[in-house]
Structure 1
């Protein structure tokens, strides 16, 4: 499985994991009571599909779709907030703590992103560089519709990151990912794997490889113990190079003198 998935699933590493060979879902992670499901499809567009239900067999109360361009650090903040809120005797991870849609995107507003006037029931919040934003459907009453969408990057299959959340998704979970959107701390990326359009827009700083750590005395002892034993010269059998006595004409050795 990809390192990308490993990073995003770090907060739920102790939850049950199910590796699936058939179908688009390659990995399924559930909460211990199976009310939360996190599916990872490495070969699909919506790589992460996350949802929660009131019991293991009921329909999802809310769901999230996160595409393959979304940085795993953002997904990790979402799964971390979800794992922190979950408990077997609580339903707080199922419902929103408030009914104000602005609570879901408040970190973006606090960071100075511009809130556009509503247009056809959609409110847009745009970053100062116009390269990221959020779309909120404030009129749709379908609980399974994608009400909140966070995005970043220019339009395109390989360039735009997108995370969509249905109406009942708890606002604090969306806000956790929105907080990661405005986090100024740099992240490590392999430049060769970046889409060229994104590489042109990003502020790239070369990172030198870390210096090798000098061995400790214990490391030196272990290395010495692994080396093959050195055989001393005294233990090597020596072979004579002197010539053998000549054999007589009759084929017998000359008699020894007494």
Structure 2
């Protein structure tokens, strides 16, 4: 659980496991880390959003009206006019928390300079799979040229291709160096990362993927195909704190006192005579 205040939680239930929560159907959390850096943004005529760093060396497309289900496409460049150095894609069913983890790490890397987001000092790929192994994910039977891990329930996985790949196809197809997925048979969420994607950025995704903490969702937005495989817990706001003695004192002293006038309540006294009866 997070320490987010109840009024800030965007949902009415918590979903476990998070890799089966599906999309939150809102892009703001994943876009915010880049907006906070003041990156340029514009919409096209059909509602797609394009975000770019000031030097145009990192670009993001949020494409609800794109040509396929690749909702999020992020690319980085050594030269703004050259081919991308790497590309990452998340489809429209990907849990938003995974995208947010990536863009948060990307924003931090960009502030450190090109060496951080162009992987000039490559790290061991094991760094990216370590969070999954620690989270109980298991290595699958070896396949030629592919290392594969799956969650304990078999409903989420990661594949890493060890052989040669066509770098152009990596940017536009599922044939990428890193491939992550989640969901039962049928339409699933997926994320890809091409050769050259800094391992620490991939690690941001796998760390969020392995996180056991539930995530908030609106029940009405959860896909029916996921419901048999997830646990839902209502989000119940905590009761208001009990008033302190000072609170009680302030309320008492702030309460207006009634004002009595001599004519508000008629009174008889021994010195007054009743009014004569009318005939």
| Greater RCO (CA < 8 Å, at least 6 residues apart) | 2
Verify same fold: TM over 0.5.
yes
What TM-score comes out, normalization by structure 1 length? 0.74
Aligned pairs for 1:15-54 (under 5 A) are 15-22=38-45, 26-44=48-66, 45-54=69-78
Aligned pairs for 1:36-115 (under 5 A) are 36-44=58-66, 45-87=69-111, 89-95=113-119, 97-98=121-122, 100-115=124-139
Structure with higher Rg: it is 1
Name which of 170, 173, 178 aligns with 1:148. Answer: 178
SS at match of 2:205: helix
Aligned pairs for 1:63-212 (under 5 A) are 63-87=87-111, 89-95=113-119, 97-98=121-122, 100-144=124-168, 145=170, 146-157=176-187, 160-208=188-236
| CA 1:88–1:99: 2 relative to 1, 3 Å | closer
Equivalenced residues, count: 212
Correspondence 1:9 to 2:37:
no
Structure 2: gaps of 5 or more residues: 1-23, 171-175, 242-246, 248-279
Provide the rounded CA distance (Å) in 2 between the counterparts of 1:87 and 1:72. Answer: 23
| CA 1:61–1:197: 2 relative to 1, 3 Å | same
Give the CA deviation at 1:20.
2.3
Give the CA deviation at 1:116.
1.9
SS at match of 1:184: coil
What TM-score comes out, normalization by structure 2 length? 0.69
| CA 1:107–1:89: 2 relative to 1, 3 Å | closer
Structure 1: gaps of 5 or more residues: 217-258
Question: Could you tell me whether the CA contact under 8 Å between 1:96 and 1:171 is conserved in 2?
Answer: no
Deviations 1:69-92 (A, max 9, x none): 111111011001111011385332
